[in-house]
Amino acid sequence: MEEKLDNISRKKERIDVKLWQGFFEFLKKYKIKVLLLLLVMVLVGLIEATFPYLTRFAIDTFVVPKSFNGFWKFIAAFSLLTTIQSINTYVLIVLAGKIETGMTRDIRNSAFSKLQKLPLSFFDANGTGPLIARIMSDVQRVTGILSWGMVDTVWGISTMTFITFYLFRLNWKMALFVVGSIPVIFFVSLYFQKLILRHYRIVRRYNSEVTGKFNEGILGAKTTKILSVEEKTIAEFSQLTSKMRQEAIKASVISSIYTPIIVQIGSIVTALILVYGSKNLEQGSITYGTLAAFISYSIQFFEPLRELSRVMADVISSQAAGERVMEVLRAQSEGESSREYALAEFGFEGNVEFRNVSFKYNTSDMVLKNFNLKVKKGERIAIVGPTGSGKSTIVNLLGRFYEPTEGKIYFDGVNYTEIDLRTLRKNIGYVLQVPHLFNGTIAENIAVGKPGCTLEEIVEAAKVVNVHDYIVKLKDGYNTLVGEGGTNLSVGQRQLIALARVVLANPKIIVMDEATSSIDAHTEHIIQESIDKILHGRTSFVIAHRLSTIRSADRILVIENGEIIEDGSHEQLMKKRGHYYRLYMQQFVEEKEKELFNV
């Protein structure tokens, strides 16, 4: 079962090398760009460290002796270096940007294609909002760290290495002042960075909740309005954003303490150099230029040090995001254990058997316990029962959207985990209560049932379910755009298009969650007629809400608490005068009342 991913190792405060190695796989594709970038960064560090050395040369050669012999040559060399540095900056931004955006695309593509293959239990365990956040902001964070973190690290290390080299070349004793401050600055920085990032981590957690709330606010906008709970929703949201703001302020306050502390330590080192350097200057053991270079270096040295500690803390804090992304990338796709069967080889007929099946969802109690059911090919099965009794669970297991916790399901005597998942799904047509249409045209939506089919086939399928006449009356006919999720069409129209899809797919088994929503009598009649045509000659499972529509079923299963408590035809069950009889009579009376009182 999937773990709730957000709980993973928030508290880890060390660099998780294994995790980042996993992402290096995505860097491989850009190895030439990466190598070039590293080279450019080393060059940037070298040139930056060389500038104070040049200043020293200028002071000792031109300023102190007041001789400007060769000054223009020096200016030319200096300009050349600044030009190279500008080009380097351009190249590094382009390269790092390309690596970052390329990796973001690659990881998002991998994560998206993985999401398409994950079992529904994964989606149950991780809400829509957090999953979207994973593919969008978490991926961005990881690739940002990998590309820009790499830039800053190489730049930091190379600048510090070259500065140290120059310092020791100039005066090793004074060099020790600067180098000696490294551990102090580094650990102080790391301490503060971790503190700051800890608060930002909380900010991000709130951010993910805010994203979730936004998501809920958009998806549930209609319900919120219906229930008139706008004020409550707004209050909850504003509470969340206030908490987020408080944490962000804390992080800013710590940042504002941290910077002066580092500046202070740097100033102490500079002051020490000034004191010690002036003495040396007096004694003539160093030049003015050397003292000036040392002061520059002592100031310049701390910037890469700060950057390095920031990157390190950033890497640590991004690990949670990295793990969340990796969890998606490495999650086991559904049906991965299947042995591949070709459809021709398997020859789906439509016999189904549930043998001692028990099942529970991630978070639920046992929904089915030792469930047994044998269905012969072509049989029309209706499933009825109170809400929450397990009707949808039975058909979810049938399509292997979830797998039995115990027991097995057989198709034509073959354990269904041995059948290729695509073959299995191709042979089971699902018609859901509120069918989902993809954003596109009506024709494209019907064609989903049989990719690559011709327009004639689409029209033929639409005719079978009596929706063709309606479609051709539309201004754009089959090219009418259905909107996101099919919102431009009524539920009844969506239902008919979904039925046309099933006709095209021509499956051996059909599962139908009968619509209960307010479809007008005319559309309902058309739908019922289409369903009768489609079900003919196929094994079918219909979750029935209106009992009047299932009288012709071969078998009606009454489910209660995940168990079949009655099984038989309408006539048999009516004669039995048991649960089904009571349910039927109750609905019958209700429907008659509705008719009589016209409500």
| Site of interaction with ligand ATP (CB under 6 A) | 124, 361, 363-364, 367, 385, 387-393
CB of 392 to ligand ATP, least distance (A): 3
CB of 397 to ligand ATP, least distance (A): 10
Q: Which two tokens stand for residue 75?
A: 């200016």
Q: Taking the complex as a whole, how short is the minimal distance between the CB of residue 123 and ligand ATP, in angstroms?
A: 8
410 contact partners, CB below 8 Å, separation of at least 6: 351, 352, 353, 355, 416
Contact 40, 151 (CB under 8 A): no
Distance between CA atoms of residues 597 and 370, nearest Å: 45
Nearer to ligand ATP, 149 or 562 (CB): 562
Collapse the DSSP code of 569 into the 3-class scheme (helix H, G, I; strand E, B; otherwise coil) and give the result.
coil
Distance CA 312, CA 303 (A): 14
| Half-sphere exposure of residue 370: CA atoms within 13 angstroms, side-chain side | 0
Nearer to ligand ATP, 270 or 389 (CB): 389
Collapsing DSSP states into helix, strand and coil, what is residue 119?
Answer: coil
Min dist CB 150 to ligand ATP, Å, is 41
* C-beta closer to ligand ATP: residue 97 or 388: 388
To ligand ATP, the closest distance from the beta carbon of 163 in angstroms equals: 59
Nearer to ligand ATP, 391 or 538 (CB): 391
Q: Which is nearer to ligand ATP, 124 or 554 (CB)?
A: 124
Closest CA to 52 of 303, 309, 311: 303
Of 364 and 572, nearer to ligand ATP (C-beta) is 364
| Cβ-contact 142, 126 below 8 angstroms | no
Q: Which is nearer to ligand ATP, 365 or 456 (CB)?
A: 365
Min dist. Cβ of residue 395 to ligand ATP (A): 8
Least gap, CB of 532 to ligand ATP (angstroms): 23
Smallest distance from ligand ATP to CB 359, Å? 9
Q: What DSSP line would sit under 157-209, residue for residue?
A: HHHHHHHHHHHHHH-HHHHHHHHHHHHHHHHHHHHHHHHHHHHHHHHHHHHHH
Residue with Cβ nearer ligand ATP (224 or 393) = 393
C-beta of 265 vs 565, nearer to ligand ATP: 565
> In terms of Cα–Cα distance, which of 256, 239, 142 is closest to 199?
256
In this structure, are residues 134 and 323 in contact, taking their beta carbons and an 8 Å threshold?
Answer: no
Taking the complex as a whole, the smallest distance from the CB of residue 431 to ligand ATP amounts, in Å, to: 15
Let me know: does 338 contact 419? Beta carbons within 8 Å: yes
Are the C-beta atoms of residues 307 and 152 closer than 8 Å to each other?
yes
Query: What would the two tokens of residue 174 be?
Result: 């004074």
* Longest Cα–Cα distance in the chain: 120
